[in-house]
Structure 1
Amino acid sequence: MAERHIGKQTVIFKNPPSIKATASIVGPKEGKGALRQSFDYIIPDELWGEDSWEKAESKLVRETLSKVLQKGSLSNDQIEYVLGGDLLNQCIAANYGLRETDIPFFGLYGACSTMAESMSLGSMLIDGGYADNVVCMTSSHFCSAERQFRYPLELGSQRAPTSQWTVTGSGAALLTSDQTGPYIRYVTTGKINDMGISDVNNMGAAMAPAAADTILTHFADTGLTPDYYDLIVTGDLGKVGKKICLDLLNMNGIDLENRFNDCGVMIFNTKDQDTHSGGSGCGCSATVFAGHLYKEMMKGNLKRVLFVATGALMSPISTQQKESIPGIAHAVSIHRSLD
């Protein structure tokens, strides 16, 4: 019997994993944004000494792993698993970035929801007694993502007002069994939602229904209410998707206006930086969590956070075949203490 499974889609941990350390490295544009003081390192340019954007993204992965292990005072041989992924075909940023680490690796693809997916599965590994130290991480790169999903940068294409700016960055969380906190108490696994949105320049609208569905399911499964959390944060809906998500929640009797935000809205100064609807990409929610949110929890400014990373499960092929865009969202409930 699955004794730790509650409700329809939620797991409660008997021995909640701790987040021992986090690390975040971002690009120069992110380094000029609203959260610039919270990142560990800001790279000087998009190539960062490499000869392609894809190789630069793999370097982001490699260096972020090194940084989180340094901050957690652990070595590669003390890590049982790395769980991670990115936006590129066959997750090449993670695969090539981690190929020399000699650490067992689970490659994941949940689009921009991958950080919460990796933290969900990493927590299950630790609570189940299969590991003591797990690194959960993701990455994205504006230039590599544009080349794969949209148009070559050389075209200088006009961006739609609803479009989002893929974050250049990598974020990592080191999960351990050492019970020092902050703790991952619940995980609510999302299910695929598809409302027929097919506009690749409006990811927020495609993902918002999945975010609302997972948040509603989390409260239904756990019996908790919105005021239980100091912050409920999605990623990465942007300004457009954030408003849609709030409207959908209001239609279902949940008012989160005063305790809801979105990583895609938070990371940039959208007015001054011209990022239209805001940030997106696997690296967006990962770097916002590993940087700003984790530091706020460690300072005691946030006691309980529901981290709901969202993903648009599309590909260049599905777009060419004129498919709609399925969305998914996974929720991770993080507590500063177990009181």
Structure 2
Amino acid sequence: MNKKRGQQSIVFASPPVITSAANIVGPMEGDGLLTEFYDRILSDTLDNNSSWEQCESAMMEWAIKTAVTKETSAIDDVDYVLAGDLLNQLMSTHFALRGVGRPFLGLYGACSTMVEGMLVGSTLIDGGFANKIVAAASSHHDAAERQYRFPTEQGVQRPMVSQWTVTGSGAAVISVIGNGPRITAATVGKIVDMGLKDPNAMGPAMAPAAVDTLWHHFEDSGRQPTYYDMIYTGDLGSVGKALVIELFKEKGVDLSANYEDCGCMIFSKDQDAHAGASGCASSAIVFTGYIYRLLMQQKLHRILLVGTGSLHSTTSYQQNESIPCIAHAVAIEM
């Protein structure tokens, strides 16, 4: 069977199975809309660590080990861990994996990292190069703010278009056999840069990349948006979500009936998250909690998960560069 479809997509001959998932979140996320779908909620953003960065590493290590334990596997059964975060040189991930002790591939796709890990891991399994992998991602609001914007102690006022970086981590175990939803197809995104330069407005920057990947997924697969019960983007927030719907309307497609953004699902309106949630953990905690549970309960049967990433850095911002963005998609079916 020809596994490559169209320009950017893959159809898996032996679709890998997502056999377990786990997540951990900070206190603000725990007070939000999806409280019942989290495995562990921290009481504060340090959780007995000496820095926010150490807390993020501890969250990822906990999520990975808990996902494996839920599956009743041993950590030594995991062939590879594919994981990443937002910080320079994947700092949080590298220290987390120090305590996991399994072969590891570090990924940087900004907030698209969780889906990128699921995509690459599924390709390894379908190709016969692994029997079991873990895909994981993390972010921490205070650590990310300190790197990308201003230390939170300064109390800098945020514009209404800005989003709140999620404190949390999610991990999914993907196996060659087992019970659970299967990853049946994937679409690899490409860089889309519309020339926007405001790092506070990531939703509008990323939305065209999400539209590009979605459009090519539908073209490559021959599927219509109605094929899926739900289509989820990772962290476009309310502004980016509205832009995706509008851009699809210009193409003659109404996406609004079965489309939602994970960044709009985490915080309630009274939590002052402005345009919604962002960060690597946005799609990671929503998928490993809410979406995965609905799939296992067969309340959802077919979903398309699109990880969205804003690939700017402090260096590129200081050099007055625009913001390159990317989106990757995985089709998941019960």
Under TM normalisation by the shorter chain, which class is it? over 0.9
**Distance in 2 between the 1:220 and 1:254 partners?**
13
Residue matched to 1:188:
187
The one-character-per-residue Cα deviations of 1:29-57 (angstroms, maximum 9, x if unpaired) are: 00010011101000110001000000000
SS of 2:206 mapped into structure 1: helix
Aligned to 2:107: 108
1:217 is matched with 216
The separation in 2 between residues aligned to 1:50 and 1:27, in whole angstroms, is 13
- 2:295 is aligned, of 297, 305, 309, to 297
Partner in structure 2 of residue 70 of structure 1: 69
Aligned to 1:150: 149
Deviation at 1:83, TM superposition (A): 0.0
Q: Deviations over 1:212-240 (max 9, x none)?
A: 01001000000001110000000100000
Instruction: Report the Cα distance in structure 2 between the residues aligned to 1:273 and 1:102, rounded to whole angstroms.
Output: 38
**2:230 counterpart of 1:263:** no
* TM superposition score normalised by structure 1: 0.97
1:179: how far off? 4.6
What is the identity, as a one-letter code, of the residue corresponding to 1:60?
A: M
Q: What CA deviation, in whole Å up to 9, does each residue of 1:126-165 have, x standing for no partner?
A: 0000111100000000000000000011110000000000
Kindly indicate whether the alpha-carbon contact (under 8 Å) linking 1:171 and 1:287 is maintained by their aligned counterparts in 2: yes
Question: Given that residues 10 and 218 in structure 1 are in contact (C-alpha distance below 8 angstroms), is that contact kept between their aligned partners in structure 2?
Answer: yes
Deviations 1:23-80 (A, max 9, x none): 0100000001001110100011000100000000000011111110110111111000
Mapped partners of 2:127, 2:180: distance in 1: 18
The question of whether the paired residues in 2 share the 8 Å contact of 1:235 and 1:285 is answered with yes
Which structure 2 residues correspond to residues 1-339 of structure 1 after superposition, within 5 A?
3-269=2-268, 271-336=269-334
Distance in structure 1 (CA, Å) of the matches to 2:251 and 2:180: 33
User: 2:16, 2:81 → 1: CA distance?
Assistant: 15
Structure 1 CA distance for aligned equivalents of residues 233 and 100 of structure 2: 31
The superposition leaves residues 237-293 of structure 1 with CA deviations (integer Å, 9 ceiling, x where unpaired) of: 000000011111111122111100000001111x21010000000001000000000
Q: Separation in 2 of the partners of 1:333 and 1:25?
A: 24
User: Unmatched 5+ residue regions in structure 2?
Assistant: none
- Could you state the TM-score of these two structures normalised by the residue count of structure 2? 0.99
Q: Please tell me whether the aligned partners of residues 26 and 39 of structure 1 are also in contact (alpha carbons under 8 angstroms).
A: yes
SS at match of 2:18: strand
Q: CA separation in 2, counterparts of 1:190 and 1:124?
A: 15
Aligned amino acid, residue 217 of structure 1: H
- 1:181 shift after superposition: 2.9
Tell me the distance in 1 between the aligned counterparts of 2:277 and 2:194.
22
Q: Which residue identity lines up with residue 296 of structure 1 in the other structure?
A: L
| Structure 1 runs (4+) greater than 3 angstroms displaced | none
Q: In 1, distance between residues paired with 2:100 and 2:155?
A: 38
Distance in 2 between the 1:179 and 1:225 partners?
29
- Aligned to 2:256, the other structure's residue is in SS state coil
> Aligned partners of 1:255 and 1:215: how far apart in 2?
13
- Measure, in 1, the Cα distance between the counterparts of 2:212 and 2:48: 42
Cα distance in structure 1, aligned partners of 2:318 and 2:72: 46
Note the residue ranges of structure 1 that are not aligned, 5 or more in a row.
Answer: none
Q: Is the 8 A contact 2:180 2:296 kept in 1?
A: no
Cα distance in 2, alignment partners of residues 323 and 41 from structure 1: 39
Distance 1:172 1:249 in 2: 31
Inter-partner Cα distance in structure 2 for 1:154 and 1:32: 22
Number of residue pairs the alignment of both structures matches: 334
Distance in 2 of aligned mates of 1:24 and 1:204: 24
RMSD value over aligned CA atoms?
0.8
Matched-pair contact (CA < 8 Å) for 2:65–2:100: no
Distance in 1 between residues matched to 2:291 and 2:133, nearest whole Å: 20
Query: Matched residues in 2 for 1:33 and 1:163: separation?
Result: 18
Q: Are 1:16 and 1:179, in contact at CA under 8 Å, matched by a contact in 2? A: no
Q: Is this contact kept in 1: 2:85–2:113, CA < 8 A?
A: yes
Residue 177 of structure 1: how far off its partner (Å): 0.5
